[in-house]
Amino acid sequence: MVNAYLQDLKHQEDELAIQYLPAVKAMAFRLKERLPSSVDFLDLSAIGTEELIKLARRYDEKLNDNFWGYAKKRVYGAMLDYLRSLDILSRASRKLVKAIDYAIEEYRVEHDEEPTDEELAEILDESVEKVHEARVASTIYTVMPLHDQLQVGDEGAALAEVEKEQLIDVIKTVLTTFKEREQMIIQLYYFEELTLKEISEVLEITESRISQIHKAVIQKIKESIGAKEDG
C-alpha cells in the first residue's frame, strides 16, 4: 500500500515536470538565440529538463503555490551554470579579447563594418582558431548576469568584494551618464532578454554598434568601482 502511494506520488511529480517542459524548451531556445553556434540548444534543453525534474520531485505546494514561479529562476540558473562549466573564457586570452575589441573598432571606423575572424587574425598576427575561440568566449559571457561579467579575470577581482547593493547603485549611476538609447540597450538586453538582432530592429541601429555600447557600459562600471586593467 505504501509503495503504491509512493509510486503515485512520483507519477504526480513527473506529470508536473512534463507540464512545464515546453516552457523549459522555450527558455533554452531564447538563451540559445543569444549564444554562438558552438553552444547546442539540445544541451541547454537537457540541462534545464534535468533541473525541472529535480525541482518537481522536491516541490511542496504548501510552501509555494506557483510551481513555475518557484522553478523558473532555478532552471535558468542551471543553464547558466552549464555555460560557466564550459570554462571557455579562462582558456581565451583576456589580452587577446581586448586586442580584438580594439581592432574591431579601428576596422569599423575605416570600413564601416566588422572584420571577419580571418581578417582579425591577420591584423593581430594570431591564428584564426585563437581569434575564433576568444570571440566565442566573449559572446558566451555577455548572456551572464552583470555581476558575473564584472568579475571576469584579474581586472574584476576587486569587484568580488563589492556588496550587491553597492554594485546596483554603481550600475544605476553609470547608466545615467549614457544617452537614453544606450540605457535602453542595456534594459532590453538584460531585463527584457532580447537578442542583439531584435534590439537592432527595435532601435534601428546595427548589432555591432549595440555590442560596442554594451562593452563600453561594462568597462565604465569596472572603472567606477576601481577595478584595474590587466597588465
Res. 6 pLDDT band, cuts 50 70 90 = very low
Q: Which residue has the cell 529535480?
A: 54
The residues near 81 (Cβ < 8 Å, ≥ 6 apart) are 47
Asked if pLDDT for residue 23 goes beyond 90, the answer is: yes
Report the mean per-residue pLDDT for the chain.
80
- Say which residue the cell 555581476 belongs to: 147
- In a shared domain, residues 81 and 35: yes
Which comes out higher in pLDDT, residue 83 or 64? 83
- Could you tell me if 93 and 70 lie in one domain? no
Tell me: do 119 and 79 sit in the same domain. no
d(CA 115, CA 103): 9
Q: 62 with 95, same domain?
A: no
Provide the 3-class DSSP secondary structure of residue 176: helix
- Together in a domain, 151 and 229: yes
CA distance 216 to 105: 12
Q: What is the mean pLDDT of residues 64-89?
A: 86
Q: In this structure, are 197 and 224 located in the same domain? A: yes
pLDDT higher than 80, residue 227: no
CATH of the domain at 155: 1.20.140.160
Q: What is the mean pLDDT of residues 213-221?
A: 80
CB 59 within 8 A of CB 72: no
> pLDDT: is 15 or 103 the higher one?
103
pLDDT, tens digit, 9 for 90 and up, residues 150-173: 655 444 555 555 566 677 777 788
At residue 210, the pLDDT reads 85
Residue after which a domain boundary falls, among 86, 106, 121: 86
Average pLDDT over residues 120-127: 93
137 and 93 in one domain?
Answer: yes
Report the C-alpha gap between 215 and 125 in whole angstroms.
23
**pLDDT value of position 133:** 86
Query: Do 181 and 133 fall into the same domain?
Result: no
Reading the block at residue 139, the C-alpha cell is: 559572446
Do 167 and 230 have their domain in common?
Answer: yes
DSSP class per residue in 105-151: HHHHHHHSSPPPHHHHHHHHT--HHHHHHHHHHHHHHTTS-HHHHHT
Q: Where is pLDDT greater, at 123 or 87?
A: 123
Q: How many domains does the chain have?
A: 3
pLDDT band of residue 26 (cuts 50, 70, 90) is: very high
Q: What is the pLDDT of residue 125?
A: 93
The structure's pTM equals 0.68
In this structure, the answer to whether residues 26 and 78 fall within a common structural domain is yes
Question: Do 224 and 194 sit in the same domain of this protein?
Answer: yes
Of 18, 53, 86, the last residue of a domain is 86
The answer to whether residue 15 scores a pLDDT higher than 70 is: yes
**225 with 170: CB under 8 angstroms?**
yes
Average pLDDT value for residue range 14-25: 88
pLDDT (tens digit per residue) in 181-206: 888 888 888 778 888 889 999 888 88
pLDDT, one tens digit per residue, over 28-76 is 999 998 888 888 999 999 999 999 999 988 887 777 778 888 899 999 9
Which of the listed residues 86, 112, 130 is the one where a domain comes to its end?
86
pLDDT value at residue 229: 46
Range of the domain at 50: 2-86
29-35 long-range Cβ contacts below 8 angstroms, 24+ apart: 30/193, 31/76, 31/79, 31/143, 33/195, 34/142, 34/143, 34/193, 34/195, 34/196, 35/83, 35/139, 35/140, 35/143
